[in-house]
Structure 1
Amino acid sequence: MNYFRQLLIAVLHPGNGSGSALDRTNAIAVFLFAILPGLSPNFNSFILLGSMVSGLYCLARARFPLNLSKSDRVVAICMTIYPVVMIVSIFVNPPFSEELDWIFRLLPFFSIWLILPRMRQSPDGHLMPLFILGAGLGMIVTFLFSLLQVLFLMPRAEAGTSNAALLGVIGVLFGGVALLNIQSPKSMEQKIAILGYAAGLGCALLSGTRSAWLVIPVQLVIFLWYFPKNRFHVSLRSLAITGSVLLLGLLALGSDQVVYRVRELQDNLSSLESTNGDITSLSARVALYKGALSAITKDPFTGYGPQNRMAAVLAEVPEGLRPQLPYSHVHNGFLTAGIDAGLVGIAALSLLLLTPVIGAWKKEPGPGRDLAIALALLLTSSYIITGSFGIMFNQKALDPIFAYMVALICADRGSTRYAPVVRS
């Protein structure tokens, strides 16, 4: 309990200097943002929106300068291209429908211009450890919530996301982020890192999100690159023992869900050769992919606009299948961008996905740069892999998470050494 009392002080303590109040609100916002995705992702949207409004107010009142470096502007422009392309596609592709709603959904991708200058009011190295620690704590609580759901309420865990696939993405991403804290010299933070990673994987397993499972081996490659470059404060022997025990526990808890989802995939593959017209999860995706590719080849330059997305796709699907495909996207982020804005949309999406890596790569050489690259790779790989089989953007939880994490990656200099949250 003493550690958590010190943690509360570390989060709420404003520090010294004229920017201390802003530093305190930054710390609270970043810490809560990392904890909440699996519990109530709507609050992430509120935090991002509040940070944008606050940043705009402070910039207008000249409480701090815009303070964007050349590399920051490159990242911000690359992020801005995607929503601009999508907004243009809305207005060049009639009929129009709910234009303001679609534009409002794109606001998170403009946020870096407002929230990055605000994050810069905190000392270098202050916010990133808070985010990583918060991710671990959030995953532990989310896993317990998910476990109760699977045991008593539903076959696939959703936690507080109301969507099993969304929980899978959040679990594997924030679990990976949590494990980065294993480099902390604080034993409690090391334990939270290991438990947070295991909890994140547990959420992915209990959600039954197969695309999230594909992210796990990619994350292992990232960890094998990052961890040897940094000094550990925990013995490899104890880490191996703890990891093995947790892995066995996760396999025991999630084995039924894994076996069920693998068998379901096998059944879906078998049903592709069937001619009885039954639609499964896999056959629905195949039909959507074929319809999307056909629609894109007919209009590869301007697309159809997000408001006409599914109408354009369903027009290329056999008439008998259309009533059985009640989706708002085609379960592939790149094809969805191509339907919305053509090849330009796919290019803008690809550039958007690279922004975390660009922001991290352009930092000063040092341990902070290595940490930022690891975080950027975890973020980008999670979105690309899961988004290639499901939803990627235009989602009220995933868009704010991506935008906020890009700003956080850019906020510190690369030469900043990692420090624990509780230092005393």
Structure 2
Amino acid sequence: MKLSREAMGAAWAGMRYPVVNRLFTFACFSTPPPLGSVVSFIWHGGALWCTFEIVSGRRRFSTDRYMLLSAILLYTYVAAGLLSFLLNDPRWESAHTLIPLATLFFFPFSYSIWSISHKDDLTSAAALASMTASYGALALALVQHFILGMRVEGGAGNALVFATVTCMIGSVSLAGALMLTTRWQIPMAGGYLAAVLAVLLSGSRSVWLVMAVVSLAILLVGYRQLRTLLKGRLIKTVAAIAVIATLSSGVLLSRVESLSANWAEMAENGEYDSSLGLRLALWKVGADRFLERPLLGNGPHHTRQLIENGLADDFDLSARFTHFHNGFLTLLVETGLIGGGAVIMLFLLVAWVAIRTLATSREETARFGAIVLLIFFLNYTLGGSFNLILGHDIIDTMFMIFLIAGLFLARGTSMLEGKIAEVETEDQAQKRDVHGNASKPIPRVASPTNIPTMTRLPAAR
């Protein structure tokens, strides 16, 4: 028996989202390194639409447990930021410092609509987009470094931000090469190597460390697949590594020499007016300001002034910074133990979900999602210890993209499947054939899209 017109309409409305969400996923993972803040416009535009869909009642709110726990922790941080602003000499001209909090507010709404998808479609889109973005990042890096003679900053306009997002995207490309059964494995592995070279050319030393740790973690998880991938390709791999070392050797040597000189100058002369010295001075200032107001912090609108005054008073330095070059310190100074503690708890939750999924699941998309969460965790905890965790539009947007995609793929429930099942159940209860047999379920329809689909290969015996 055919479904009723209303049921068919509801089912078709649900089927449109897999196409949109697959394209949206591809856009979110492919744009950060080469196009910078474009990813922020894409994701926030989508998040506004998702919020409208949920608030208007057109779509259902997801009840996934880990999404709800994450939303509670994020909203705790948002509430702490707002309250800290109001309790610490609020001024209208400083209200713009609260704008980044809006990004976190959209989290559960974006997750709910994004989950109206087939998980394997999102996995394919994320992996292929990351591969594409990695090659794009390298192309920009080569032009900016060797032709324009500038420090590599990609499309972000900031070397550190470019290196951070390229590290994250390149790591996803590596995860796709090792975790997914696809004919795109070799190009994805090449995308990872391209991302490594782009990160090295950026000269961002802290991200070098992050990428090394993240890469090691992914290789440990996928070491069996790595042996298969390298079989018969060892010479080509060694040659690729040699090319990367040659092209990046100049940047590596200059940045290491600079770090050594900074350390010697600070240790011998007590001079903090250097990259390393300023960072240590910022940490000292940040720790002191946190201890002064440990519960709710000083408010996000006072950070610049606190840094400027602290450097001048404690180190006789004149410098301006927007953060303490330590994301945890920045969170604690701005929102205290309540806000900063909520974000720390979120990281612990993400780490637990990733480790538990990798330990208990053999399902390909779930393990890929767990790797995405692992990349998220290591990047924002290790990298955030030297740089930012929250507070920059691209960094905040990537925070949302990786958290949503990782949680959904690893432990989430597809809202698409639930919607179709609900429609079928209602119709089958009303429409049965003369023999009392329920009508056949709706077959899954292939989604038209111009994104190449990863061809699944039979698993190796």
Same fold (TM over 0.5): yes
Q: Structure 1 residue 339: deviation in Å?
A: 1.3
Decide whether aligned partners of structure 1 residues 415 and 365 sit closer, same or farther in structure 2, where only a CA change above 3 A counts. Answer: farther
Residue deviations 1:328-381 (CA, integer Å, cap 9, x gap): 111001111121122333312312334533554676834233222221111110
- The unaligned stretches of length 5 or more in structure 1 are 1-15
**2:260 is matched with which residue?**
266
Whether the aligned pair in 2 keeps the contact of 1:39 and 1:159 (CA below 8 Å) is yes
**1:397 is matched with which residue?**
394
User: Is residue 334 of structure 2 the alignment partner of residue 340 of structure 1?
Assistant: yes
Whether the aligned pair in 2 keeps the contact of 1:136 and 1:175 (CA below 8 Å) is yes
SS at match of 2:33: coil
Q: How does 1:230-379 map to 2 (within 5 A)?
A: 234-273=228-267, 275=269, 279-319=273-313, 324-358=318-352, 360=354, 365-367=361-363, 368-379=365-376
SS at match of 1:238: coil
Moved more, 172-181 or 311-320: 311-320
Whether the aligned pair in 1 keeps the contact of 2:77 and 2:338 (CA below 8 Å) is no
Q: CA RMSD in A?
A: 2.6
Whether the aligned pair in 2 keeps the contact of 1:331 and 1:390 (CA below 8 Å) is yes
Q: TM-score of the superposition, structure 1-length normalised? A: 0.87
Whether the aligned pair in 1 keeps the contact of 2:303 and 2:323 (CA below 8 Å) is yes
Letter in 2 for 1:315: N
**2:39 is matched with which residue?**
44
Paired with 1:235 and 1:373, the residues of 2 have a C-alpha distance of 21
Whether the aligned pair in 2 keeps the contact of 1:124 and 1:413 (CA below 8 Å) is no
SS at match of 1:397: helix
Whether the aligned pair in 2 keeps the contact of 1:22 and 1:122 (CA below 8 Å) is yes
Q: TM-score of the superposition, structure 2-length normalised? A: 0.81
Q: Structure 1 residue 128: deviation in Å?
A: 2.0
SS at match of 2:119: coil
Whether the aligned pair in 2 keeps the contact of 1:279 and 1:324 (CA below 8 Å) is no
Identity %: 22
Q: Which residue of the other structure, out of 63, 66, 70, is the alignment partner of 1:68?
A: 63
User: Is residue 171 of structure 2 the alignment partner of residue 139 of structure 1?
Assistant: no
Decide whether aligned partners of structure 1 residues 241 and 90 sit closer, same or farther in structure 2, where only a CA change above 3 A counts. Answer: farther
Whether the aligned pair in 2 keeps the contact of 1:392 and 1:398 (CA below 8 Å) is yes
User: Is residue 382 of structure 2 the alignment partner of residue 385 of structure 1?
Assistant: yes
Q: Considering only CA atoms, is the larger Rg found in Structure 1 or Structure 2?
A: 2
Paired with 1:212 and 1:317, the residues of 2 have a C-alpha distance of 25
Paired with 2:53 and 2:302, the residues of 1 have a C-alpha distance of 38
Decide whether aligned partners of structure 1 residues 64 and 402 sit closer, same or farther in structure 2, where only a CA change above 3 A counts. Answer: same
Paired with 2:297 and 2:135, the residues of 1 have a C-alpha distance of 42
Moved more, 55-64 or 312-321: 312-321
Residue deviations 1:186-216 (CA, integer Å, cap 9, x gap): 33x1122111111111111000000011113
Decide whether aligned partners of structure 1 residues 62 and 246 sit closer, same or farther in structure 2, where only a CA change above 3 A counts. Answer: same
- The unaligned stretches of length 5 or more in structure 2 are 1-10, 414-451, 457-461
Q: Structure 1 residue 266: deviation in Å?
A: 0.6
Moved more, 350-359 or 120-129: 350-359
User: Is residue 86 of structure 2 the alignment partner of residue 54 of structure 1?
Assistant: no
Q: Structure 1 residue 410: deviation in Å?
A: 2.2
